[in-house]
Structure 1
Amino acid sequence: MKRICLLLPNGFEAIEASVFTDVLGWNRLEGDGTTELITVGTRDTLACTWNFKVTPELLINQVSANDFDGLAIPGGFEEAGYFEDAFREDVLELVREFNRQKKIIATICLAALVLGKSGILEGRNATTYHLSNGKRQAQLAEMGAKIIPDKPIVIDDNLITSSSPSMGFDVAFLLLEKLTSKANTKEVKRLMGFIS
Structure 2
Amino acid sequence: MSKKLLMLLPHGAEEMEFVIGVDVLRRCGVTVTIAGLGDTKIKCSRDVIIHADTTLDDASKTDYDAIVLPGGLGGSKAMSESSQLGDILKTFESNGKLIAAICAAPMVLLAHSIALGKSITSYPSFKDQLSGKYKYIDDKIVVVDGNLVTSRGPGTAFDFALKLGEILVGADKVKQVASGMLYNMNIHN
After TM superposition, the score normalised by the length of structure 2 is 0.89
8 A Cα contact 1:23 1:172, kept in partner: yes
Q: Secondary structure at the match of 1:119?
A: coil
* 1:64 pairs with 2:60: yes
* 1:41 pairs with 2:36: yes
Residue 100 to residue 66, structure 1, CA distance change in 2 (3 Å): farther
* 1:109 pairs with 2:94: no
For 1:186, the aligned partner's letter is K
Equivalences for residues 111-130 of structure 1 within 5 A: 111-130=105-124
Indicate the residue corresponding to 2:142 in structure 1: 153
Query: What RMSD, in angstroms, separates the aligned Cα atoms of the two structures?
Result: 1.8
8 A Cα contact 1:10 1:82, kept in partner: no
Q: Secondary structure at the match of 1:25?
A: helix
Quote the Cα distance in structure 1 between the aligned partners of 2:32 and 2:64.
9
* 1:7 pairs with 2:1: no
For 2:166, the aligned partner's letter is E
Q: Secondary structure at the match of 1:4?
A: strand
For 1:53, the aligned partner's letter is I
8 A Cα contact 1:7 1:71, kept in partner: yes
**Structure 1 residues not aligned, in runs of 5+:** 29-34
8 A Cα contact 1:65 1:98, kept in partner: no
For 1:46, the aligned partner's letter is I
Residue 116 to residue 25, structure 1, CA distance change in 2 (3 Å): same
Q: Secondary structure at the match of 1:6?
A: strand
For 1:83, the aligned partner's letter is K
8 A Cα contact 2:10 2:79, kept in partner: yes
Indicate the residue corresponding to 1:32 in structure 2: none
Deviates more, 1:170-179 or 1:43-52: 43-52
Quote the Cα distance in structure 1 between the aligned partners of 2:145 and 2:96.
11
* 1:174 pairs with 2:174: no
How many pairs does the alignment contain?
Answer: 183
For 2:96, the aligned partner's letter is K
8 A Cα contact 1:65 1:94, kept in partner: no
**Structure 2 residues not aligned, in runs of 5+:** none
8 A Cα contact 2:104 2:122, kept in partner: yes
Q: Secondary structure at the match of 2:96?
A: coil
8 A Cα contact 1:65 1:97, kept in partner: no
Q: Secondary structure at the match of 1:110?
A: coil
After TM superposition, the score normalised by the length of structure 1 is 0.86
Match of 2:128 among 138, 141, 162: 138
* 1:149-192: CA deviation from partner (whole Å, max 9, x where unpaired): 22222111000111222111111001111111111111111111
8 A Cα contact 2:120 2:143, kept in partner: yes
Residue 81 to residue 26, structure 1, CA distance change in 2 (3 Å): closer
